[in-house]
Structure 1
Amino acid sequence: MSMNQPINSVIKEIFFDEEFEEMESELLTNDSTKIYADQSDPEIDGLYNRWERGKLDVQPDFQRYFVWDIIKSSRLIESALLDIPLPVIYLTEELDGKIYVIDGQQRLTAFFSFLKGYFPDNKNFKLSGLKVLKEYQGKSFKELPEDIQDKIRYCQIRTITFKKESDPNLKFEIFERLNTGSVPLNTQEIRNCIYRGKYNDLIRELAKDPDFLSLLGLKSSDQRMKDVELVLRFAAFYHSTYINYKAPMKTFFNNEMVRFQNISEYDSELLKSAFKNAVSIIKSLLGDKAFKRYYKGTDKNPDGYWEKNRFNTSLYDILMDSFARVDKNIAYANLERIKEAYITLLTTDDEFIDAIEKGTSQERRVILRFEKWRYLLSEITKDTKKLPRCFSYELKEQLYNASPICTICKNRILNIDDAAIDHIEQYWLGGQTIPENARLTHRYCNASRPRKE
């Protein structure tokens, strides 16, 4: 098999026949969408030398650490000595010139550790638990006869290397199917391998921002890179905008990684500034309630409440994107009005609620939730001097501090976030937005009261 020929046969080995046929019809019909690979049978000694020279990365940071024990590692060596065929090793060539292991890390680490004489944790490696070649039990590589050492060194193992010219999205799909470890890699850990470069480094750097981690409720970086994927979510919508979003989300994010893989310094600084602007405003606006739902009360219990634990990525998307584009000073001058509008949207607009809870990756729902929130925010920030239709937060504080009793159900309002100010004479009947025409209610009671034209 030549190095730069599309190899559908290799892909077919990885996928079930019906899966391959579907992928072939959808992805392989376009000349620009292909996989290029090099299939070969290198000797362990050659792979070991490439690894020592830094040309083969067996344990990059996207992979699991070595988890095999000494018995499993020893039996791999025994299998090689018995000429038992070993599973294929899958590699990927990246733009930095290195070769990275996709599938086969544990096997290669076991071989290399035996040649070195010790495991990654510095424990000595002497053969243990052998079932057939018991005469070599307890021996290190250097203690074996020279001909046995040579048999290990020159043992051939089939490798398939996906070339850097391959289509990234198709390579991502193949990587997912090969990802069969005891703790499979998630999509961002796979991206961390497939799309290595300046952009990958940038989003990992932004994910370490202390204020960002605080908004996510994290004390340190997430070990499974969920925080990094959230930065990527923000960046994808910031660069492409929600108008150009195409499902599925996974491909939308992958395309973002491809587009900016070697991001310029100028674009890098723009993204950093937008990200930090959004994080700063959201921290002041919502603090530990960021990216969580607010629920209005019910007939039985009119008290509303904030979601305690569940993170809502749909709310994350609209808040991060909108506040990346708003002047910080204008946002700070209107924080309470913005918060009031946000909670009102979460408790009164059924279309919006559905769009953040059901089928959230559907294009129409993405557009709907972005546009509803952006309209409300723009109404508040476009003219800071315009008199609002809604009562001020300051008035709500005054009424709540004076008496936190709902004027409709006559029960105590437990939290000011659950309080709403209602027009005594309704706004659409000519009621003015003045303190004399204001009364304090539960959000639920206000939303549930009869409205007569």
Structure 2
Amino acid sequence: MYIFSVDITSWVQAKKNRKQMTKQENLLQEIESKKTEFKTESYPMSIGELINLHKNGELIINPDFQRYFRWSNTQKSRLIESILLGIPIPSIFLFQREDGIWEVVDGLQRISTLLQFMSELPEVEDVPKKGRLVLEGTKYLPHLEGMVWEKEKDEDLELPNPLKLFIKRSKLNLSIILSDSGTNAKFDVFQRLNTGGSFASDQEVRNSVMIMIKKDTFTWFKELANDENFANTISLSDRLYDEQYPLELVLRFISLTKYEYTTKKELSDFFDEITEKILQDDDFDYENAKIDFENVFSTINQVLGDDAFKRYDGTKFKGKFLESAFEAVTIGLAENIEQYDFPDDNNLLLNKVKELHSNETFIRYTGSGSNARTRIPKIIPFTKEFFRK
């Protein structure tokens, strides 16, 4: 009996070991498989060479990206300080197109700062002209204050020529994503480098990815964000407009009406995933998705205007824009809009929105302490039922 027990124990242990070995082997295979999708080259290049490549059209910054070039003068001056002092600067990531042209994937702020300082930053339609960069004094180099690359007026302080030559000869590390990398390489690298960083909001990163991968998709989202009815129903701060939050709201509506969300993902990761799915889906029905969007927001604007996504206190709508109200009203109406007969049912919809804010379920899942990850799986089925006529 004792021997049999030992044999069973050994068998179980051997089985566990085989499972572990299989997992380890699978992991190694996954790594080898995915490694082939990311083909890169890395080498240093002088700033002068990099600027010349840009002047010759061999290195490009997508014009749409310049909308996101918003480093402060302090940040720009610190970059110049770092170069002059030899402080390490993060690598510039570029994507090599099939025609050999390099596109900036990560490094927009650094390259644009250098181009602006040297008066080589191109003008872009609908983007305010940056003008030349006048440096600020920095922590270690306070005498940079007022310095410019080249004098335009007698009183200008031109950077000494030896320092200009030093900057031109200073090297930046370049990482080139080669054109025969996997189809998702540019998407993944850009997203991982920028998400959570100071370069852009999550939605700005998605916008940039769309511009790089399929600009028509970005244009489609932008047109929806500029829809007059949609714009009239949201009341947002200038900061949220600057961070492209209206486009995130469009994505939020598309994602939650056409795809299923689970608590396995953070909401931002879910939106990233849906963006990637839409970009890769040649059969995505842009036309009907746009019709559905316009129907919902034209109705909401007609009935509620800019009160649509504010809290109702029993007497009036007031306060700031609420994501939870946006989700509940838009998703609930989108699910049931064909049951309504507008404009005859305008008052019915208005009253339902008012009642929503005193509804026990809505209050429980949208009150203090709630977050999108726990809220949305509860609110979506609730609101689809709540707005049923």
State the Cα distance separating 1:126 from its structure 2 match: 10
Where does residue 277 of structure 1 map in the other structure?
A: 295
| Separation in 2, partners of 1:156, 1:274 | 52
| Separation in 2, partners of 1:47, 1:57 | 12
> Are 1:44 and 2:55 an aligned pair?
no
Where does residue 193 of structure 1 map in the other structure?
A: 208
> Are 1:65 and 2:83 an aligned pair?
no
Matched residue type, 1:318: A
Among residues 361, 364, 378, which one is paired with 1:351 in the alignment? 361
Where does residue 6 of structure 2 map in the other structure?
A: none
Where does residue 374 of structure 1 map in the other structure?
A: 384
TM-score by length of 2: 0.68
Structure 2 unpaired stretches of 5+? 1-26, 123-128, 152-157
Alignment length (residue pairs) = 330
CA separation of 1:366/1:148 partners in 2, compared to 1, >3 Å: closer, same or farther?
Answer: closer
Matched residue type, 1:44: I
Among residues 90, 99, 102, which one is paired with 2:103 in the alignment? 99
3-state SS of the aligned residue for 2:171? Answer: coil
3-state SS of the aligned residue for 2:279? Answer: coil
CA separation of 1:211/1:41 partners in 2, compared to 1, >3 Å: closer, same or farther?
Answer: same
Alpha carbons 1:203, 1:228 under 8 Å: kept: yes
CA separation of 1:229/1:61 partners in 2, compared to 1, >3 Å: closer, same or farther?
Answer: farther
| Separation in 2, partners of 1:146, 1:310 | 53
> Are 1:222 and 2:246 an aligned pair?
no
Matched residue type, 1:362: R
1:13-52 matched pairs, under 5 angstroms: 31=31, 36=38, 37-52=40-55
| Separation in 1, partners of 2:379, 2:141 | 62
CA separation of 1:132/1:324 partners in 2, compared to 1, >3 Å: closer, same or farther?
Answer: closer
1:87-166 matched pairs, under 5 angstroms: 87-93=89-95, 99-100=103-104, 102-103=106-107, 105-106=109-110, 108-113=111-116, 115-116=118-119, 121-123=130-132, 140=150, 152-161=167-176, 165=182, 166=185
State the Cα distance separating 1:211 from its structure 2 match: 1.6
> Are 1:250 and 2:235 an aligned pair?
no
State the Cα distance separating 1:171 from its structure 2 match: 4.9
> Are 1:213 and 2:231 an aligned pair?
yes
3-state SS of the aligned residue for 2:66? Answer: coil
Among residues 329, 334, 339, which one is paired with 2:350 in the alignment? 339
Cα deviation 1:339-387 (Å, max 9, x = unaligned): 333333431x322221233534235x42332222222333x1xxxxxxx
Q: Provide the alpha-carbon RMSD of the alignment.
A: 4.4
TM-score by length of 1: 0.59
3-state SS of the aligned residue for 1:330? Answer: coil
| Separation in 1, partners of 2:59, 2:298 | 42
Higher relative contact order (CA 8 A, sep 6+): 2
Where does residue 59 of structure 2 map in the other structure?
A: 55
| Separation in 2, partners of 1:123, 1:201 | 30
Among residues 261, 276, 279, which one is paired with 2:279 in the alignment? 261
> Are 1:361 and 2:366 an aligned pair?
no
1:172-191 matched pairs, under 5 angstroms: 172-177=191-196, 179-180=197-198, 185-191=200-206
1:413-452 matched pairs, under 5 angstroms: none
Of Structure 1 and Structure 2, which has the larger fraction of its residues in helix?
2
3-state SS of the aligned residue for 1:88? Answer: coil
Structure 1 unpaired stretches of 5+? 1-26, 296-303, 381-453
State the Cα distance separating 1:41 from its structure 2 match: 0.9
| Separation in 1, partners of 2:370, 2:189 | 25
